[in-house]
Amino acid sequence: MNKRIVSFFTFGLFLIIIGAIGRFLQWQQAMTLIAIGLIFETLALILFAWSKIKKNE
């Protein structure tokens, strides 16, 4: 697996966890952190799929 994909995945997971903790503590920016985390998770998924498609060509 590419280091960039792992980095995007772990950073997105970190943001989602911090956002969930923030949601529990009623931070106003908690949903923003969760949304940014989901964007990073989606980006990691797209990069992973792209690398698999390129490898099969």
pTM exceeding the 0.75 threshold for the entire prediction: yes
Q: How far apart are CA 19 and CA 11, in angstroms?
A: 12
In the chain, what is the greatest distance between 2 CA atoms, to the nearest angstrom?
A: 48
**Residue 14 belongs to what H/E stretch?**
helix 3-24
Residue 7's pLDDT is what? 87
How confident is the model over 1-57, as pLDDT tens digits? 678 888 888 999 999 999 999 999 999 999 999 999 999 999 999 999 998 888 877
